């Protein structure tokens, strides 16, 4: 799958499941459950033990059926290591121009974390494919609409504070997709082993995205 195809899958799915697991086995089990719920884009944070190995194993198992990206990427060195391990996309919590340049060099979608219009435009002009609005909980869905008014070319993905109670509104206000963490998958749920609940949550977010798009 090439870069445009990966970006299209992110848009179509509308949900990026942000996962922080305690082990690769735990994460793979959760990925199966999330996929069953209709979410085919998963971000593995670099704070996950053995994150690079997890990405490599997941990429080998799922191929292009599920996209596995690296999250919480702080520098270009980590971005390169993740890409070589098989990461389909890279997400950063901050605006780092070196990370954007590195990902562009390898033809991998990159999503830097920004909050202000200045940061977002800087990221976009540097070659960012999508913009991670973080923390989205501060401004909420109305902030997405406000940012897109002067900057309609941006593809904004809110992260932080996105739940079932506001997912549809975030989409309706113009978000390209949603980054969803603890309200979808968290360590407590993973520890319980209740993968059926994880599938139900994933399906609920997919429905909310569809509702936000008028479906």
Could you list the active site residues?
43, 132
- Using DSSP's 3-state secondary structure scheme, residue 175 falls into coil
DSSP annotation of 70 reads E
Nearest Cα to Cα of residue 130 among 205, 67, 58: 67
E-assigned strands of 20-169? Answer: 41-45, 67-71, 90-91, 110-111, 113-114, 131-133, 156-158
Report the C-alpha gap between 6 and 85 in whole angstroms.
17
DSSP annotation of 161 reads S
Please classify residue 54 by burial: count the beta carbons closer than 10 Å to its beta carbon, then call 0-12 exposed, 13-18 middle and 19+ buried: buried
48 in Cβ contact with 184 (< 8 Å): no
Kindly write down the DSSP assignment for every residue of 78-98, as one continuous string. HHHHHHHHT-S-EE-SS--HH
């Amino acid at each position: 799958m090439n870069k445009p195809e990966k970006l299209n899958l992110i848009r179509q799915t509308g949900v990026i499941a942000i996962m922080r697991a305690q082990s690769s086995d735990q994460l793979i089990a959760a990925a199966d459950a999330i996929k069953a719920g209709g979410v085919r884009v998963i971000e593995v944070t670099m704070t996950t033990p053995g994150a690079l190995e997890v990405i490599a194993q997941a990429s080998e198992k799922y191929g292009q059926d599920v996209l596995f990206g690296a999250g919480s990427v702080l520098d270009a060195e980590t971005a390169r290591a993740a890409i070589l391990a098989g990461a389909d996309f890279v997400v950063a919590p901050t605006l780092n121009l070196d990370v954007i340049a590195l990902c562009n060099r390898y033809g991998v979608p990159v999503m830097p974390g920004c909050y202000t219009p200045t940061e977002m435009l800087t990221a976009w002009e540097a070659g960012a494919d999508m913009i991670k609005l973080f923390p989205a909980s501060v401004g909420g869905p109305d902030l997405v609409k406000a940012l897109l008014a002067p900057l309609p070319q941006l593809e904004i993905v809110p992260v932080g504070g996105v739940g079932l109670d506001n997912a549809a509104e975030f989409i309706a206000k113009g978000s390209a997709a949603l980054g969803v963490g603890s309200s979808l998958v968290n360590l407590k749920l993973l520890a319980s082993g209740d993968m059926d609940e994880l599938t139900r949550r994933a399906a609920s977010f997919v429905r909310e995205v569809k509702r936000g798009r008028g479906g």
